[in-house]
Amino acid sequence: MSKPVEDILSESEGSEGWDDVNEGDDEEQVEVEIVSLLDDKTFRDAASMVSYCKDKFNFDFVATRDRLGLDFYGSIKLVNFVRSTAKEGKPLPEQISHQDLADDRFMMPVLADDAFIMCLDDLPLAEGDSADDTGKAVEGDAGRDESAALKAQLEDVTRQFANYRLAVEQTLDKRWHAEDDDASSTSSADEPKKGKEDSSQSYWEGYANHDIHETMLKDTVRTDAYRDFIYNNKHLFKGKVVLDIGCGTGILSMFCARAGAAHVYAIDKSAILDKARENIFHNGLADTITCLRGRVEDIQLPVSQVDIIVSEWMGYCLLYEAMLPSVLFARDRYLKPDTGLLIPSHATIFMAPANDPEYVTESVSFWRDVYGFDMKPMLEGLLKDVRVQYVPGEAVAGSASTYALDLYKCTVDDLSFRVKWNSTLSRDVECVDGFVIWFDNYFATTRKTEAEPELITASAQEWQAQRGDGSVAFTTAPTAKDTHWKQGFLMIEEAADGKDKMQPRKKGDEIEGHLTFSIAEENARGLDVKIEWEGLPNAKHAQTWSLH
């Protein structure tokens, strides 16, 4: 059995073990399987593969390389150009030119762990040239020593692989502006509003940590919804091109690949992409999934259109983190019009009045008597920030108002809004302590038809039951199974002030007002929520909470 190239590389990382390699009369031979440039036939050495392509397909790799005067990196582009052309089922040009190889995308490997690229220096050199022990062409040498020891062979493979990885990394950084300190990479879709802090760097750094991904993956409401939709609708994915935005560990991309996608482009700006690439490789999906580092606004995909966009973009109260604009950008730039699918396809924000005297008492009274000291100033964050927490279902005190998004039609402007809301109290309450916000997500199997409503205001459970066609939905409501998004609890200041300005309300009482979502004043990825109300007998009729 051939020895994997990655094993060769791992053995060459240090000097330990060289004595063992050199001991004994029988030296271990390094074997790799080299896939033909133009079909699936495999070979034990590069020269045999090149000869095969020349005889069967009339393509002479060495002659083409020498005619164009290609260096090591140019040879890599030639390999990937030929493989890419063959993969697309197109004939090679009668005579390949420098212009054919000009696109930097040919620095990206078409075949994962392409052993031929690692063996390029084993090919015959141009006439009059040879190679010294560093692998560089020199004049007048007698040629490469074909009986080189195993150590030199391993060092050569390691050097070539390291050089190739570096070249690819530098090419991608230049092409897709993936350098973190490259100010020019900020596009208008992510440009912070004047006077607001651009927290994007810390945002991406946060998603490089493993803990946050473990939390999300263990959220079965979230992860099961994506898995069930993808696996239960494999006919939607078979043979399709998929774009996964903010791929994280790569879980959604792997779901899509297992469901039969022809190819998946997995994008993430965070360093977690390195782990995603490893996860994908170890699960045997590297030929189907291509990982691209950067923001979708900066990356130019190798394809002009995709069939499906999948993304887990939701933040607290749905719109915290401001990731949805990136999805909408990709929708407009890459998704096939009329037939392309968004996963999820719709989302709805729910807001309802809340009465939770136990929480208010515990949270507020603690600071009013700390070992005999009144620390009321410590309440400021509690009353002015959106509290992300699990709100008990019984705390919801009235009907919910909704703000729905059709992701096929909404724009970035729709993500900052002021809308009317109203609620009917469902029980008697001593006072309304605040408001609770949650959201539902919907995964439709088809794009909305004329007969369907433009926006979804039904609960996830009701909507999924009505569809019955493989569509999936999930909720983050207080009355349902907990998710890592929890709920947003917005406490009214008067309620925390001893309720002296708030009065009891009866079941059936109506309250109404306006709900406003906007970008946080000091954080371009943050969220400000303002609620105005009428029907509550207190001095104040509006309050703004922030989510940082």
* The total number of residues written for the chain in this structure: 548
Given 28, 297, 321, 450, which residue is catalytic?
A: 321
- Among 119, 153, 176, the domain-final residue is 176
For residue 126, how many C-alpha atoms fall within 13 Å in the half-sphere facing its CB?
A: 14
Q: Rounded to two decimals, what is the model's pTM?
A: 0.66
pLDDT for res 124 = 78
Burial class (CB in 10 A: 0-12, 13-18, 19+), 508: exposed
Please check whether residue 363 lies inside any domain of the structure: yes
Cβ contacts of 461 within 8 Å, gap of 6 or more: 473, 475
Report if residue 211 sits inside a domain: no
Number of domains in the chain: 2
Q: Are 341 and 308 in contact (CB under 8 A)?
A: yes
Given 135, 154, 176, the domain boundary residue is 176
User: Is 312 assigned a catalytic role?
Assistant: yes
Q: Is residue 154 a part of any domain in this protein? A: yes
Whether residue 306 is contained in a domain is answered as no
Which pLDDT score, from 0 to 100, does residue 31 have? 58
- β-partners of residue 542 are 532
The separation between CA 422 and the C-alpha centre of its own chain, rounded to angstroms, equals 36
Q: What range defines the domain where residue 513 resides?
A: 343-547
Q: H helices of 341-432, where?
A: 357-368, 380-384
The pLDDT of residue 24 is: 41
Of 159, 176, 193, the last residue of a domain is 176
- Residue whose pair of structure tokens reads 């749905």 in the numeric block: 318
Residue 477: inside a domain: yes
Count of CB atoms situated within 10 Å of the CB of 105:
16
The CATH number assigned to the domain holding 356 equals: 2.70.160.11
| Local mean pLDDT, 10-residue blocks, the chain (548 residues) | 42 40 43 85 90 93 91 88 90 91 84 84 64 42 48 55 54 45 40 46 56 87 97 97 96 97 95 91 94 92 96 95 93 95 96 91 86 89 88 96 95 96 95 94 83 76 90 96 95 71 84 93 86 76 89
310/331 Cα distance (integer angstroms) = 10
* Pairwise CA distance, residues 306 & 195, whole Å: 36
Terminal CA-to-CA distance of the chain, rounded, Å?
Answer: 56
Q: Residue 296 domain-assigned?
A: no
Phi-psi region of 17 (alpha: psi -120 to 50; beta: other; left: phi over 0): left
Q: How many CB atoms neighbour CB 402 within 10 A?
A: 18
Residue 88 resides in a domain: yes
SS3 (DSSP) at 347: strand
Q: CB neighbours (10 Å) of residue 414? A: 14
Joined tokens for residue 94? 């009668």
Q: Is there a domain that residue 367 lies in?
A: yes
| Sheet containing 527-534, strands listed edge to edge, beginning at the edge strand earlier in sequence | 417-424, 510-519, 527-534, 542-547
